[in-house]
A and B are shown apart, each in its own frame.
Chain A
Amino acid sequence: MLQILLNGIVSGLLVALPAVALSLTYGVLNFPNFAIGSMITFGAYIALFFNVDIGVSLFVAAGLAAVGLAAVALLIDRLVYRPLRGADHVTLLVASIGVYFVLENVVRFLFGSDIRGYDVTVARPHRWMGLRVNNEQILIFVVAFLAMVIVWFILMRTPFGRAMRAVSDNPDLADVRGISRNKVIALVWVIAAALCSTAGVLIGMDGIIDPLMGWNYVLPLFAAVILGGIGNPLGAVLGALIIGIVEEMATLVLPTTYRQAVSFVIIVLVLLLRPHGLLGKPRISR
C-alpha cells in the first residue's frame, strides 16, 4: 500500500511539472494548449540529441534542452500565437493542434519513430523500510520538488510573477498598470518550456523516448489542470498528485493498459460535478 502511494506520488510529480506549465499558459494566454504534449516530447528529444549524439552528460543535456525548448516556444509564439492574439479561444486551441502536429512530426522527421533511450546507467533499486525505490524516482522527486518551489517563488514573490497573475486575472487592467503583455507571455513560455523539457527528460529516464511519449500525457495533464481549477498552477500540482495516486491505485483493479482511462473518468466527473476544480472556490471572474 505504501509502495503504491510512493509510486503514485512520484508519477504525480512527473505530471505536475507540465501541468503547472499548462496551467500558466492557460491562465495568461487564455486557451488550452493542446501542443503541451509535443513540447514534452520535443524537450526530451533535444536532450537526447545532446546526450546521445553529442555525448554530453544528461544533466547538461537537460539544461540545454530547457534553453532550446524555450527558444522554440518563443519562436512559435511569435509565428503562431502572436498573430492570433485577441482571437477567440477556439481559434487558439485549434491553432495549438496545428502546433502539436508540427512539433511531433519534426521530431519524427529528425529522429525517426523508433524507441530510444538516454545514455545513463541503470542502478539497482534501493530497499528502504520494505519499500522499493529506484534512483530515477528519487531524482524525479527532488527535481520536481525543486521546480515547484522555484515556480512558486517566481509566481508569488517576484514582480514578474505578480505580473503573470495580473495578466491572467485582468489583461486590460494589466496594460494600464504598465505591464507589457508580450514580455509576460514570453516569460510564461520560457517557464513552461523549462518545465516541459525537464518533465520530458525525467519521463525519458524513467521509461522510454518515442514521438508519442508526450501525447500520452495530454489527458492526465488536462485532468490535473481541470481538477486543480483552470489557471491555478498550485491547484494543478495538487490535481497531478491526485491523478498519480489514483492511477496507481486503479492498477489494483484495472489492467495497467487502462491507466489513462482514469484521467478520462476524472475529467468527466470534475466537469460534471465541480467545473471550478477541486479547490472549490470558483476563481473570482471579472
Chain B
Amino acid sequence: MIGYLTAILVVVLISALVALALNLQWGQAGMVNFGIFGFFAATSYVAALSSLAGYPLLISLVLAILTGVALSALVALVSARLREDYFAIATLAFAEAVRLFLLNETWLTGGANGLPGIPRPLSAYSSGQSYELLFFVMALVLAAICFAFAEALTKSPFGRVLRALREDDLVAATLGKHVLSFRIWAFSAGGAILGVAGYLHSSYFGYIDPTQFGAFVTAYAFMAVIAGGRGSNTGLLFGAVSVMVLLEGTRFLKDLMPFLDAGQAASLRLILIGAGLILLLIYKPQGFFREHRLRVDKGDTK
C-alpha cells in the first residue's frame, strides 16, 4: 500500500512540476506553451542518457536543467515576439520535431523502443519499500525547491513586470521594460523546472519511450493550471493534485466496468481528460483559486 501511495505521490509531484513550469510560462508571462511535452521529453532523455552513461544524480540533474533552460531560451528567442496563437503553434511544432528526433535517432534514443534500465539514484542507500519512500522524499525536496523558486520569482519585481507584460505589451514597453528579455527569462525559468521534472520522471520509471510524452502532457498541465487559477502557485498545487487524483481515480474505471478491454479503458480515461478540460474552461475559467494579485486589487475595482 505504501508503495502504491508513494508511486502516486511521485507521479503527482512530477506532473505538478510540469504544471508549475507552465504556470510560470503561461500563467505569469502569458506564453502559451503547447509544446511543453517536447521540453519535458528532451530533459527526460538527457537525464536518462547521462544516468545511463554513469553520471551521478547531481550531474544528471544539472544536465537536465541546463537542457531545459537552453532549449527554452532558444525557442523563446525565436518566438517570444509572436502573438499567443502563433506561439502555441510554434511551440507545438517544436515539440513534434523533438518527438520525430526521439523516434528516429535510434542510435541515441532507442527510437520507439525507448531507453530501458535507467539507473535509479540513491539506490545504494536503501531498497524495497523504504527506497520508494526515500525517492519520494527526494522528489518532495526537489519539488519544494522548485516551488520556492517559482514563488520567489512571482513575488519579485520580475514577476510583477511579467504580469504587466502579460496584460499589455505596449504599456509595459513604454515603461521601458525589455519585453523580449523578460519573456525569455521567464520561459527559461520554466524550462529549468521542466529539467527537474524530466530528471525525476526518467529516474523514477527507469524506462522512457516517446509515447510517454504526448500532447496529453500539455492537456494535464493546462488543466492543472486552469483549475488552480492561472498565475497562482498555491492554487496550482491544489490544481495539480486534484487533476492527478482524478486521473489516477479513472484507472479504477476498468474495475467498475469489467466489460471494457484495456485499450478501451485507457481511451475512456483520455476522453475524460478532454471533457474535463472543456468543462473546466466553460464552468471554472478562473479556477478554484484566484491569483494573489486579484485578491490585493479586489478592494478598489468596484
B226 part of interface (Cβ distance < 8 Å): yes
Asked if A106 and B88 sit within 8 Å, CB to CB, the answer is no
Q: Which residues of chain A are near B44, meaning CB under 8 Å?
A: none
Let me know if B219 and A267 touch, CB within 8 A: no
**Considering only CB atoms, which chain B residue lies closest to A26 in the complex?**
B85
Q: Inside 8 A of B32's CB, which chain A residues have their CB?
A: 90, 93
B215 near A105 (CB under 8 angstroms)?
no
C-alpha gap A119/B164 in the complex (Å): 58
> Of B100, B103, B277, which one neighbours A94 at CB under 8 angstroms?
B277
Residue of A nearest to B218 (CB): A97
Say yes or no: B84 contacts A90, CB within 8 Å. yes
A30 and chain B: residue at smallest CB distance: B85
Residue of B nearest to A272 (CB): B78
A100/B271 in contact, CB under 8 A = no
**Residue pair A102, B104 in contact (C-beta under 8 Å):** no
Report which of B86, B96, B270, B273 forms a contact with A275, defined as CB distance below 8 A: B86
Select the stretch in B122-130, B149-157, B260-268 that faces chain A. B260-268
Interface size on A, residues (CB 8 A): 45
List residues of chain B with CB within 8 A of the CB of A89.
84-85
Closest chain-A Cβ to B219's Cβ sits at a distance in Å of 6
- With A32-B85, A89-B85, A90-B32 as known contacts, state yes or no: A98 contacts B93, CB within 8 Å: no
**Cβ-based interface call for A7 (8 A):** no
Residues of A within 8 A of B266 (CB): 108
Asked whether, in the complex, the Cβ of B93 is within 8 Å of the Cβ of A113, the reply is no
Q: B275 within 8 Å of A by Cβ?
A: yes
Taking a contact as CB atoms under 8 Å apart, the answer to whether A109 and B267 are in contact is yes
Whether B114 is near chain A, meaning CB under 8 Å from some CB there, is no
- Distance between Cα atoms of A257 and B34 in the complex (Å): 23
Identify which of residues 98-125 in chain A touch chain B, using a CB-to-CB cut-off of 8 Å.
Answer: 98-102, 104-106, 108-109, 112-113
Q: Mark B72-107, 1 if CB is under 8 A from A, else 0.
A: 000000110010111011101110110010011000
A222 lies within 8 A of chain B by Cβ: yes
* Stretch from B132-140, B173-181, B232-240, B278-286 contacting the other chain: B278-286
Interface size grouping (class) on chain B: 35 or more
The verdict on B222 contacting chain A, using a C-beta distance below 8 Å, is yes
B271 touches A87 (CB 8 A): no
Chain B: interface secondary structure? helix
Given known A-B contacts A101-B271, A222-B93, A267-B90, A84 and B281 have beta carbons under 8 A apart: yes
Interface centre among B84, B92, B263, B266 (most CB of A within 10 A): B92
**Known: A95-B277, A261-B97, A271-B82. Contact between A100 and B89, CB under 8 A?**
no
- Cβ-closest chain A residue relative to B282: A83
Any A CB within 8 A of the CB of B205? no
Asked if A97 and B219 make an inter-chain contact with CB atoms under 8 angstroms apart, the answer reads yes
CA distance A94 to B287 in the complex (A): 14
Chain A residue at minimum C-beta to C-beta distance from B214: A215
Chain A nearest CB, measured from B137 CB (Å): 34
Binding site for B on A (CB under 8 A): 31-32, 34, 79-80, 83-84, 87, 89-91, 93-95, 97-102, 104-106, 108-109, 112-113, 215, 218-219, 222-223, 226, 255, 257-258, 260-261, 263-264, 267-268, 271-272, 275
Residues of chain B touching chain A, judged by Cβ–Cβ distance below 8 Å, are 32, 34, 78-79, 82, 84-86, 88-90, 92-94, 96-97, 100, 103-104, 215-216, 218-219, 222, 226, 263-264, 266-268, 270-271, 273-278, 281-282, 285
